[in-house]
Chains A and B, each alone.
Chain A
Amino acid sequence: MSTVIAPSREVVRAAERVASARTRVSVRETLGQTLMMAWRALKKMRRNPEQFFDVALQPLLFTAMFAFIFGGAIAGDVASYLPLMIPGIVAQTVLTTCMATGTQLREDMEKGVFDRFKSLPIARIAPLAGPMVADLLRYTIAATLTFAMGLVMGYRPDGGPAGVLAAILLAVVTGWSLAWAFTWVGTIARSAQAVQGISMMILFPLTFLSNAFVPVETLPGWLAAFVRVNPVSHLVTATRDLANHAVVSGEVGWTLLACAVVIAIFAPLSVRSYKRHM
């Protein structure tokens, strides 16, 4: 082994380096670095396929379970419950996947390689946004599998393929936006377990206190009031409108607005707390 660097190489000149150093990261560089980080996250997923268990199993299990347990009670029979429930499961699955984004980021941040990321002249947001871009794949798998499971069980969405595709797209976009909130939790919590715990506390009320599984009309007034403003309800209704009727309703607008608000709040917070971690 010859580790001595060949003397023929050009000598490093500090003064020139100082003069040519850039003072900030451009938007283009930031995008490129985010894509590199996404590449890394995808490699990681490919080498640890167990990461796909939650996105693969949950849709299959929950769809079957909820349909048979609640179907008869709520809609009379399983088949007529499916159009109501499948969009609910899509929303729930995508939210659970978001939570995994935060937990995995926290785990990742504890590894040595994050020290190197911090020491490199790259955009501070890239190590956070990269895994989230890669997670688009997971949201897509989760949403698609849920619809597929529904189809197997006899769900025939009236919105047609275009409606279903639009519904999946909306779910993926929402998942990606909400993941910023969990990413923020990931940067402030002490450990991956803490992230999991905090995220569960946010997630359970949001998904179950919504119209995902039951019609709002059956709820007591005070609960119905909360359910109506819960963004998850908007997502569920928007998904239903798209998948079942191929209608782009105002609910889609509300959902996208909620997404924009979440990103606007939590993306800067995440970057700030990631920086402070140093």
Chain B
Amino acid sequence: MSITEFRPSGGGPAPAGGTDLAVRVRGLVKTFGEHRAVDGIDLDVRSGEIFGVLGPNGAGKTTTLRMLATLLKIDEGRAEIFGVDVAGNPHVIRQLVGVTGQYASVDENLTARENLWLFSRLQGVAGPRARSISTELLGQFGLEDAADKPISQFSGGMRRRLDLAASLITRPPLIFLDEPTTGLDPRTRGQMWDTIRGLVADGCTVLLTTQYLDEADQLADRVAVIDHGRKVAEGTPDELKTAVGDSTLQLLLADPSEVPTAVEVVRRVLGSEPVLSPEKGRLNVPLDQADLAADVLIALRSAGVSITSVSVDKPSLDEVFLALTGHETDGDDENRTKENR
């Protein structure tokens, strides 16, 4: 069950040419005091793809992105964007990359239109053109009606859209999106996904971070899973899901002491290993097809194992992590604060 091209940090043959790579990262390290937030990450993002960096809070996703966007100093390792060294040519990198952060980086004191105008002018767009670009982007992102309202009256989704619009003013060939849909309602989320797909159709490359397996599945051509500052796996979303099964049968046993019996039954029926959850009496069974759930349940019934609750679900990020790393996601708020500092 190897979805991963495990690459030791710093190693791995360099791809020939390298110009077809939008991002090439080797052995990237960022240390905050004692804490190694990013601990030797390698990434290859091909031109024209959507690349997802998947991981829990505090895994080092944002820190990685901020280093690539020249917002944080790279402590060790090397990063190239379209063949340009990030540490050596920050000014060039800033012309090639559009960054949309986790928290909207727009000016609260200005209206949406003024924001876009300011960012256009700052990047050398002439006055009349800045005005027309702003209007155009406001239209594309459905913000015409709110164009002249202060940002303080904007909803979370509207801010995100404005933020993304601001990143697209000069149509940069590479776009970084840091958790673009965290905190958005499902409808807005779907719209954001469409927008991101549109960017790639336009010739852009997108590097995004997410905590959601389904988001990576929906959007990304390839995914790297990051945990504790290290890459634990890389592959297509399908490969990733194969590792954890297409769906998961979640069982809560009436009597926790019957767990060993249940494990035995699952092994016999499916020939695979269930994942024990820290919660007493709960186990998750990866399934290749959802239909197999019935077989497991019938077998448990005939073995006399009583069940309190049962559900079949898509595998969650937790399960991906359990399968890949053998432990649960444990990104805590403390790490997160450090990362955002």
Contact = CB atoms under 8 A, between A and B. Distances in A.
B141 A278 contact: no
Interface in A42-75: 43-44, 47-48
Interface string A1-19: 1111101010111110110
Interface residues of B, number: 57
A221 interface: no
A29 B92 contact: no
Interface stretch (B70-78, B239-247, B256-264, B310-318): B70-78
B174 interface: yes
A112 B105 contact: yes
A5 B201 contact: yes
B112 interface: no
The 8 closest A-B pairs by CB, nearest first: A1-B142, A14-B173, A11-B203, A121-B94, A12-B203, A116-B105, A112-B105, A4-B198
Interface residues of A, number: 45
B69 interface: yes
A43 B110 contact: yes
Given A14-B205, A21-B96, A22-B91, A119 B198 contact: no
B121 interface: yes
B106 A116 contact: yes
Given A12-B204, A121-B123, A278-B70, 15 more contacts: A4-B194, A5-B201, A12-B203, A14-B96, A17-B96, A32-B124, A40-B107, A40-B118, A112-B103, A113-B108, A115-B99, A116-B99, A116-B105, A119-B70, A119-B94
B191 A3 contact: yes
Interface in A217-260: none
24 contacts: A2-B142, A4-B197, A4-B198, A5-B140, A5-B195, A11-B203, A14-B203, A17-B96, A17-B172, A18-B84, A21-B84, A22-B92, A40-B118, A43-B109, A47-B109, A48-B109, A111-B108, A112-B104, A112-B105, A112-B106, A113-B106, A119-B69, A120-B123, A126-B122
Nearest to A14: B173
A117 to B, nearest CB: 8
B22 interface: yes
B169 to A, nearest CB: 9
B104 A7 contact: no
B62 to A, nearest CB: 11
A15 B72 CA distance: 25
Nearest to B151: A113
B91 A23 contact: yes
A115 B101 CA distance: 8
B95 A22 contact: yes
Contacts of B122: 33, 36-37, 117, 120, 122, 126
A17 to B, nearest CB: 5
Contacts, number: 141
B198 A25 contact: no
Interface of A: 1-5, 7, 9, 11-15, 17-18, 21-25, 29, 32-33, 36-37, 39-40, 43-44, 47-48, 111-122, 126, 276, 278
Contacts of B202: 5, 7, 9, 11-12
Contact of B71 (A13, A18, A39, A119): A119
Nearest to B176: A119
Contacts of B106: 112-113, 116
Contact of B161 (A3, A25, A36): A3
Contacts of B172: 12, 17
B152 to A, nearest CB: 10
Nearest to B139: A2
Contacts of B203: 11-14
Given A13-B173, A18-B82, A33-B122, A4 B91 contact: no
Contact of A36 (B70, B73, B121): B121
B141 A3 contact: yes
Contacts of B92: 18, 21-23, 121
A194 B296 CA distance: 63
A39 B110 CA distance: 11
A118 B195 CA distance: 25
A23 B97 CA distance: 14
Interface in B304-332: none
A42 to B, nearest CB: 10
Contacts of A113: 105-108
A71 B204 CA distance: 71
B277 interface: no
A29 B124 contact: yes
A120 B140 contact: no
Contacts of A39: 118
A3 B19 contact: no
A30 to B, nearest CB: 11
Contacts of A33: 122
Contacts of B101: 112, 115-116
B41 to A, nearest CB: 19
B47 interface: yes
A125 to B, nearest CB: 13
A12 B200 CA distance: 9
Contacts of B91: 22-25, 121
